[in-house]
């Protein structure tokens, strides 16, 4: 269970197969969750990245700041 820290409600999976791209080619596959109360979003990823230099996976780019 994934619980929103803001309003203490269970978050719901709103998108499967969304990855987080770190750098140029490493993607951490995961799913997007959204809180039905406040709308906060989180992406829960696997611990091991996959190599995706051709951008075949639907991803968001992780910021490095």
CATH number of the domain at 7, please.
Answer: 2.20.25
Q: Give a yes or no: residue 59 inside a domain.
A: no
Q: Phi and psi at residue 34, in whole multiples of 5°?
A: -130, 140
Classified as helix, coil or strand, 29 is: strand
Residue 16 has pLDDT above 80, yes or no: yes
Tens-digit pLDDT profile for residues 32-61: 999 999 999 999 999 999 999 888 889 999
By C-alpha distance, which of 63, 62, 52, 64 is closest to 20? 62
What is the rounded distance in angstroms from the CA atom of residue 37 to the CA atom of residue 6? Answer: 9
Q: How many domains does the chain have?
A: 1
pLDDT of 25 strictly over 90: no
Instruction: Look up the domain containing 37 and give its range.
Output: 1-47
Mean pLDDT of the chain: 93
pLDDT given at position 42: 96
Does residue 15 lie in a domain region? yes
β-bridge pairing 59-61 and 12-22: parallel
Both tokens of 64, joined, read 């490095």
């Amino acid at each position: 269970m994934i619980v929103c820290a803001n309003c203490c409600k269970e978050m719901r999976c709103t998108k499967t197969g969304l990855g987080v791209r770190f750098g140029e080619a490493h993607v951490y596959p995961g799913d997007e969750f959204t809180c039905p109360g406040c709308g906060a979003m989180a992406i829960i990823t696997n611990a091991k990245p996959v190599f995706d230099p051709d951008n075949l996976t639907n991803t968001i780019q992780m910021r490095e700041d």
